[in-house]
Amino acid sequence: MPNKEKNNLALNLSGAGFGKFHNVSLSNFAEKAYLDYALSVVHGRAIPKLSDGLKPVQRRLLFSMVEMSLRSDSKPVKSARVVGDVLGKFHPHGDQSAYDAMVRMSQDFVMRYPLIDGQGNFGSRDGDGAAAMRYTEARLTAFANVLLDEIGFDTVFFLPNYDGSYQEPLELPARLPLCLINGASGIAVGLSTEIPSHNVGEIADGLVAILDNRKISNNEILNIIPGPDFPGGGQVINSRSELAEIYLTGKGTFITQGRWFVEELARNKWRLVFTELPHGVSVQKVLEEIDELTNPKIKANRKSLTSEQNKQKAMMMSYLLSVRDESDKNANVRLVFEPKNSKTSKEEFIQLLLSKTSLQSSSSVNLVLLDLENKPKQLSLREILFQWLDFRVKIVRAKFSFKLSIVQKRLHILHGRIKILEAIAEVIKIIQEHDNPKIKLMKRFALDQEQVQDIFEMRLRQLAKIELLNIKGEIIKKKEEETIFLKVLKSKKSLEEQTKKEILSLKKLYGDNRRTLLKESAKVTFEAEVSEEKITVIISYNGWITIKNGHDIKISNIQFKAGDQYNLLFECTNLDHLISFSTSGRVYCRALLELSELKIPELPFSSLVEPAPNESFHTFFVGKPNDRFIVLTQYGKGLTTQMDKVLSKTRVGKAFLKLDDDDKPLKIIPIPKEESALALLTNNGHLLVIGTDSVKELFSGGRGVKLIGLRPGDQLRSACLVGENGLEFGALTKQGQSKILRFSRNKLLDFIGKRSQKGRKINSRLKIESMK
């Protein structure tokens, strides 16, 4: 085909929604693809959020454990159960990586304030790995409540999980900045983060100081938060000016050393004992370094030790007699160095060990986080504290707004009860004498539907006189709570005061002494899964539902009731949702997981919901919360929406489609991710092909837009997406004979039009019965 014809065909197909055709440079495409991958790693794996200080796998583990009720006061369960649950629901990646993240959150030599309480072998500071997840057990620590206690107060947004079957929090409502308190480490594409841990008390004091004075200087902040506080202690020897520069720029290097003392022995002998090591350094690592210095190995492609190896060996052997690990349950670290001669200079001995081993180390600092706009950014300590306080004030506002709404709803109910109990005789009379007492009660006592419903659910013993006194007492209590909540919510200043109060409370609860010594010194030189199952849903024309395990179910093996017939089949999973638009335009939803657990061979959809007497169901769809689809009506109208916008937990459904008189939902068409074309067929045999992107999105429902213009007396008969091979029509001749018409994609170019056009007649001599 000539290039000109190819270009014309590409333009025509693009206009019909068949997809756009254009040339792309391979280098540009590869660059964009790699950028997408890089962003995915940054947001989904390596860089923690400033708000809660967690990476996605950590957040999912903690949230999953809350869902499993594994609080600090509960009985621990096998780690394999936790890992399986988080993989199945939220984190479809390797089980070992999830377990490793769980192990790290339980190790008190990695986390300054561990979030998981591990039972069993969860590894050691010497580099020993944790036991397999089938042997260990876990639950949350009490400190994890700092992240999780407020998750039930409508404080954070929830998003669908990877398959849309569950909801997971976008972030946790942290009550302290975990990004600073426990630190973080991660390597993404093109950037990395390395944040040291800090002391809870110092961070809390810093936050309070900012709330008291928003113009606080960097120097004043550094007076309160002077430096990192590592889990294993040790000491940081950077000068104050160096620390100030690190926290101002968000990058730099901490020089850390172990802590030691000289143990005096009899006969003027002594030995050097290290009781704390630099962060990330183990006793085993130091021993291996000493062995490498005193017992060097011949390097590859050489016959003997190098002169440098011999020099280092001679130097170490001239000072060191022996080294041994005396660590035990009473001393996490006790590393003993014996000098070769008691007359050896203690200063020189210490300098030798610090300079030649990891007893003196460098810890890089790179304060990179996903900020409140979810963008990776290098921040200063000041910026982190200020941004986190903005986040926290927002959470406090959401929490108290939620509490206020609960209290006000309760007061609303209680006021209704007061009205009823004060006129209980009249109420009983109304209930006895009227066919619809709810309406009468609502008018007589100025009640709303919610109050009347509560009254009808009251037990007889709640009608006693003493109950009236209890309600009045509860109203007084609730009003006091309402006053407190309104006082907190009245201004930003009051919200900040509440935030300050909560921070100080947490400091009192979790504050402890600093472990890491800050001692300025020069760097020493000597010359750290509900399983998803495949199911098939078969729906009859009269709305009967049949669920079979697996896929590839033969319709011929399904028996339908007399007068009923096959309508639809969906191959899906038990984690999907089934929806139906009734003849009134309401949408009803049921989770397939619930239906598959009923173990009933078949049942009518109407028995699963509570429709109005005049409603019936013929239009169905099965999908996941993020699936998009088009809903079409017999009068040729339609709209695009998304599954999660129509899902409802109530059996009475929700109003969605606004239908004209006598109009009814006709069909639901799923929309693929790539551009596609929608074919519309009327009863009179007119066909119109339009792009799916021309159908207006209405996530809140409505009347939709006219997709095809209908001639008088005509209605929309069918609709479907145009396949790779075009369309196939079932037709009848004037003599009643069946005939099949096949239109290729090129043939369908004649029927391409704009939305609301009337389309073209397919064949004036045939009656078109079906289209697929």
DSSP state of 44: I
The pLDDT value recorded for residue 15 is: 53
The pLDDT value recorded for residue 31 is: 63
Of 663, 488, 681, 499, nearest to 582 (Cα)?
A: 663
Contact of 97 with 60, CB cutoff 8 Å: no
The pLDDT value recorded for residue 529 is: 45
The pLDDT value recorded for residue 520 is: 85
Give the 3-state secondary structure of residue 181.
Answer: helix
Pick the CATH number of 259-358 from 3.30.420.40, 2.40.50.1020, 3.30.1360.40, 3.50.50.60: 3.30.1360.40
Token duo for residue 641: 């929406």
The pLDDT value recorded for residue 207 is: 97
Count Cα atoms within 13 angstroms, Cβ side, for 176.
Answer: 31
Residues annotated as catalytic (active site), given as ranges: 135
Q: Which residues of 722-731 are buried (b: 16+ CB within 10 A; e: fewer)?
A: beeeebebeb
Mean pLDDT in each 10-residue stretch from start to end of the chain (772 residues)?
A: 52 54 70 60 71 93 94 94 94 90 93 95 87 95 95 92 91 95 83 92 96 94 95 93 94 94 92 94 93 87 72 83 90 92 89 92 92 91 96 96 94 88 82 84 86 81 73 91 93 94 96 93 60 86 87 85 86 88 89 74 84 85 89 91 84 87 89 85 89 87 88 90 86 86 87 88 85 86
- pTM, 2 dp: 0.63
The pLDDT value recorded for residue 206 is: 96
Count other C-beta atoms under 10 Å from residue 273's C-beta: 17
Q: Measured between alpha carbons, how far is 576 from 159 in angstroms, rounded to an integer? A: 16
Domain ranges within the chain, ordered by starting residue: 47-174, 259-358, 387-513
Count Cα atoms within 13 angstroms, Cβ side, for 283.
Answer: 23
Contact of 214 with 389, CB cutoff 8 Å: no
Burial (CB count <10 Å: 0-12, 13-18, 19+), residue 476: exposed
Task: Specify the CATH class of 387-513 in words.
Answer: mainly alpha
Token duo for residue 50: 């400033």
Token duo for residue 530: 């509900």
CATH of domain 47-174: 3.90.199.10
The pLDDT value recorded for residue 172 is: 95
The pLDDT value recorded for residue 299 is: 81
